């Protein structure tokens, strides 16, 4: 059985207020149809039907302060309550104290040790690697955990070869911001199908979408709304390509942010945990209450 972990940075379950919450404003017909006509907001969770399970997961983990990306992502990758052990939330990039948890103890390393295939399906441009090599850029928790497992990040060559996707799903950013005028561009629904095809090649695959957190910090409602509407089309294509009998798609986040554009800061909101797949296969996730419980459920499902 396989799992695709679809990580959307900085999305919480917010209020039913289209003035501040793009999830209450955006037109997301596909996801809303799967949610019985409801929007992805706080009042919808918990929810379950034949298509999916929606759970509200706590990212605060009993630690004061606002949840942050480095610790939140590290928790998702290890199942360890790192903020509680350290006494603080930390981000955006891991400091040495957070990084130590990602050296051999993350889900990527466990998958490799079990003799299974894993990958981060994002393609990274040359300037990213230049920044890492020069010391001007630090790995965030997810690529750090992957490279610590001995798995290389995908490059521009992988993107051109069709082995990975761009961080914005469609590849438009490679044209507009990265200076690759001949890079592949996908319509959103086709990008979703491509993501499903790529994920089917691995026992555990991961895709990281970070622009949602960025839009939250910028308090950019038009951009946030466009992101969600694009993602809805991506999701439609993904679910059409994904064979339910193959395994599960796990969608979640590290902390709230984009669901409340009245503030530039992260929030203490619970985050959505959506499990797509066969209802019997989803049972191992049904009792989850907080972020620390997601990785153990994945490891058990994959028999790691």
CB of 57 within 8 A of CB of 291? yes
Residue 231 exposed, middle or buried by CB count within 10 Å (0-12, 13-18, 19+): buried
d(CA 98, CA 87): 11
CATH 3.40.720 fits 2-62+103-301, yes or no: yes
> What tens-digit pLDDT sequence spans the chain (304 residues)?
999 999 999 999 999 999 999 999 999 999 999 999 999 999 999 999 999 999 999 999 999 999 999 999 999 999 999 999 999 999 999 999 999 999 999 999 999 999 999 999 999 999 999 999 999 999 999 999 999 999 999 999 999 999 999 999 999 999 999 999 999 999 999 999 999 999 999 999 999 999 999 999 999 999 999 999 999 999 999 999 998 888 999 999 999 999 999 999 999 999 999 999 999 999 999 999 999 999 999 999 999 9
Residue 300 exposed, middle or buried by CB count within 10 Å (0-12, 13-18, 19+): exposed
Which residue is listed with tokens 């599960």? 248
Domain range list for the chain:
2-62+103-301
For residue 74, give the DSSP letter. H
- Tell me the two tokens of residue 193: 């199908």
271-295 residue pLDDT tens: 999 999 999 999 999 999 999 999 9
149-173 residue pLDDT tens: 999 999 999 999 999 999 999 999 9
Residue 36 exposed, middle or buried by CB count within 10 Å (0-12, 13-18, 19+): exposed
């Amino acid at each position: 059985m396989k799992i695709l972990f679809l990580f959307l940075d900085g999305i919480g379950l917010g209020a039913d207020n289209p003035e501040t919450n793009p999830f209450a404003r955006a037109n997301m017909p596909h996801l809303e149809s799967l949610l019985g006509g409801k929007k992805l907001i706080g009042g919808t969770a918990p929810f379950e039907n034949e298509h999916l399970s929606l759970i509200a997961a706590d990212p605060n983990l009993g630690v004061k302060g606002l949840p942050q990306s480095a610790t939140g992502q590290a928790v998702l990758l290890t199942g360890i309550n790192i903020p509680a052990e350290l006494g603080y939330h930390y981000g955006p990039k891991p400091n040495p104290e957070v990084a130590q948890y990602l050296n051999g103890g993350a889900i990527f390393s466990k998958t490799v040790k079990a003799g299974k295939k894993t990958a981060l399906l994002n393609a990274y441009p040359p300037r990213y690697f230049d920044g890492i090599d020069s010391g001007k850029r630090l790995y965030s928790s997810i690529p750090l955990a992957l490279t610590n497992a001995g798995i290389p990040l995908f490059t521009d060559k992988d993107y051109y070869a069709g082995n990975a996707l761009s961080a914005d799903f469609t590849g438009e950013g490679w044209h507009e911001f990265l200076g690759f005028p001949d890079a592949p561009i996908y319509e959103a629904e086709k990008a979703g199908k491509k993501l499903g095809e790529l994920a089917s090649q691995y026992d555990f695959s991961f895709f990281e979408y970070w622009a949602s957190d960025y839009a939250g910090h910028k308090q950019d409602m038009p951009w946030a709304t466009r992101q969600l509407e694009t993602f809805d089309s991506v999701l439609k294509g993904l679910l059409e390509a994904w064979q339910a009998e193959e395994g599960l798609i796990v969608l979640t986040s590290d902390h709230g942010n984009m669901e409340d554009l009245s503030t530039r800061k992260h929030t203490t909101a619970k985050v959505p945990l959506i499990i797509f797949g066969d209802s019997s296969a989803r049972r191992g996730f049904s009792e989850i209450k907080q972020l620390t419980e997601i990785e153990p459920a994945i490891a058990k499902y994959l028999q790691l």
